[in-house]
Amino acid sequence: EKLSVRFESFANRVLEMNLLVRPDDYIGVKLAGEIAALYNYRVEDVAFNEEAVLNKKAGEDKSAYPVRNPIITIMGHVDHGKTSLLDYIRKEKVAAGEAGGITQHIGAYSVKVKDAMLTFLDTPGHAAFAAMRQRGANVTDIVVLVVAADDGVMPQTVESIRFIKNAEVPVIVAVNKIDKPAANPDKVKQGLTEHGLLPEEWGGETQYVNVSALTGQGIDDLLEAIQLQAEIMELRENPKGAAEGIVIESKIEVGRGPVTTILVQKGTLNKGDSIVVGETSGRARSLMDYTGKMLNSAGPSTPVQVLGLENVPTPGDILNVVKNEREAQKIVDNRIAERKALANTSVEAKKVSLEDFFA
């Protein structure tokens, strides 16, 4: 609602509150409330209650919810075999038993081990993780640290360990390239012990598995080690209610528009839902899993490729389901305005201004 007040008289009144405002200044909800009270109006916050939605219920008891798949990421120094390992598992372990046998590159896939499913995140490089870390988002439950047996601990190995310790996620070490004549797994163990990853067989708590992404040696052992770790963690989540998720990757595809891989973290995302993702919104027009199958819905720990967003979001952005597209647009406008106000950018760029409010 707009108040019919001349700007000069308004500016004078708020000046009495020790506020100096110019016509295009951005004001937050709280301040708007105080100002409106001067005129016997009450401000209603029609915007999205970000805090209520984004506040993760840290102490929530999840023991009654169904088990969800663990989310696994692979980290390690460049050329130590992260991509090869992911490719091997995808090719040898996913294709068998999946419809068509062709996996889609949606940045994630799931593998069946015994009665459990393991979901691997297959994000290119560390950019996505860096972005997620910056937002304090924890997407991963277990990290597989790949170290080449012929190369040992390298700078990005150490960087990965720092991430793992910060995030407080369990780690399993995959000592890769065990097929190479120069492979020296003990040297890897020694090197990592200096960084606090004492192997179980040396009296520590860290699991090491010798593997070869080339020959496939040890891969089954690695998958079993991951499955055991996941079992211990008893990961559970509520599949009911509006979905919440996180952007893994996003790109524009000709003819399809923005194509975004979302990892649903809680609740269920349904086809047709109105969604807000970071600073863009839309309708989840189509949902596709890593086998290329169209889905009507996706529950916790499910990675899905989503079509229907207006723009490309950033990895680490949060997805929320909202009432309708109008609401979604309002939230996006609000977020952009808040960000711009915070960044103190040019006055023209501000979407919500005092003039909108009081003209």
The residue range among 79-87, 202-210, 212-220, 281-289 that interacts with Mg ion, by the rule CB under 5 A, is 79-87
Q: How far is the CB of 140 from ligand GDP (least distance, A)?
A: 17
Q: What is the 3-state secondary structure (H, E, C) of the chain?
A: CCCCCCHHHHHHHHHCCCCCCCCCCCCCHHHHHHHHHHCCCCCCCCCCCHHHHHCCCCCCCCCCCCECCCEEEEEECCCCCHHHHHHHHHHHHHCCCCHHHCCCCCCEEEEEECCEEEEEECCCCCHHHHHHHHCCCCCCCEEEEEEECCCCCCHHHHHHHHHHHHHCCCEEEEEECCCCCCCCHHHHHHHHHCCCCCEHHHCCCEEEEECCCCCCCCHHHHHHHHHHHHHHHCCECCCCCECEEEEEEEEEECCCEEEEEEEEEECEEECCCEEEECCEEEEEEEEECCCCCEECEECCCCEEEEEEECCCCCCCCEEEEECCHHHHHHHHHHHHHHHHHHHCCCHHHCCCCHHHHHC
Is 268 annotated in a binding site? The answer is no
Any binding-site annotation on 312?
no
Name the binder of 68 from ligand GDP, Mg ion, none, CB < 5-8 A by kind.
Answer: none
Query: Which residues in 55-74 contact Mg ion (CB under 5 A)?
Result: none
93 is in an annotated binding site: no
CB of 192 to Mg ion, least distance (A): 20
The answer to the question of whether 195 is labelled as a binding residue is: no
* Binding partner at 191 among ligand GDP, Mg ion, none, C-beta below 5 to 8 Å by kind: none
Task: For residue 83, state whether it binds Mg ion (rule: CB under 5 A).
Answer: yes
What is the crossing angle of helices 82-89 and 219-233, to 10°? 90
Q: Residue 77 or 283: which CB sits closer to Mg ion?
A: 77
Minimal CB distance residue for Mg ion? 83
Which of ligand GDP, Mg ion, none does residue 185 bind (CB under 5 to 8 Å by kind)? none
With CB cut-offs between 5 and 8 Å by kind, which of Mg ion, ligand GDP, none does residue 335 bind? none
Residues 321-340 binding Mg ion (CB under 5 A) are: none
Report in angstroms how near the CB of residue 249 gets to Mg ion at its nearest.
14
Residues lying near ligand GDP in the complex (CB under 6 A) are found at: 76, 78-84, 176-177, 179-180, 212-214
Cβ of residue 245: shortest distance to ligand GDP, in angstroms? 26
Q: Is 193 annotated as a binding residue?
A: no
Give backbone dihedrals phi and psi of 351, rounded to 5 degrees, phi first.
Answer: -90, -35
Binding partner at 156 among Mg ion, ligand GDP, none, C-beta below 5 to 8 Å by kind: none
Stretch that binds Mg ion, among 77-85, 157-165, 263-271, 343-351 (CB under 5 A): 77-85
Question: Nearest approach, Cβ of 202 to ligand GDP (angstroms)?
Answer: 23
The annotated binding site for GTP is made up of 76-83, 122-126, 176-179
| Site residues, Mg ion (CB under 5 A) | 82-83
The annotated binding site is made up of 76-83, 122-126, 176-179
